[in-house]
């Protein structure tokens, strides 16, 4: 049973690392979007504008889902990054605002 627990912990850590990496990747794509469009998208516009911008070429082919199959949440201005924006995954529990949320901020 200990082996199974260790494997599950490693799997969850890998998923958390993947979510953080994807959030940082999306954040970089938003910076490119800002260069092309002159500003970051609003929270209401969301991340979909990265694949379907109002003008010009898409920055991303598609915005990935997090490792648990959920969409990333974009808020501008951010709560964790008050002078910027947040890209957040709800984490493995699928609940927004819990301690397993993962995003583009430093812990």
Q: Using CB atoms within 10 A of its CB, is residue 38 exposed (0-12), middle (13-18) or buried (19+)?
A: exposed
More confident residue, 30 or 97: 30
More confident residue, 4 or 73: 73
The answer to whether the beta carbons of residues 29 and 37 sit under 8 Å apart is no
Chain segment 39-57, per-residue pLDDT in tens: 999 999 999 999 999 999 9
Rg of the chain taking only CA atoms, in angstroms: 15
Q: What is the C-alpha separation between 35 and 12, in angstroms, rounded?
A: 35
Q: Is the pLDDT of residue 61 over 60?
A: yes
Q: What is the C-alpha separation between 81 and 107, in angstroms, rounded?
A: 11
DSSP letter for 95, please: -
CA distances from 62 to 3, 56, 80 (A): 37, 15, 25
């Amino acid at each position: 049973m200990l082996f199974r627990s260790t494997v599950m912990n490693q799997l969850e850590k890998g998923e958390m690392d993947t979510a953080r990496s994807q959030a940082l990747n999306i954040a970089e794509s938003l910076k490119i979007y800002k260069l092309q469009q002159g500003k970051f998208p609003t929270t209401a516009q969301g991340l979909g504008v990265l694949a379907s911008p109002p003008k010009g070429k898409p920055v991303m082919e598609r915005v990935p889902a997090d490792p648990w199959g959920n969409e990333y949440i974009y808020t501008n201005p951010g709560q964790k990054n008050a002078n910027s924006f947040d890209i957040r995954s709800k984490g493995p529990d699928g609940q927004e605002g819990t301690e397993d949320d993962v995003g583009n901020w430093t812990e």
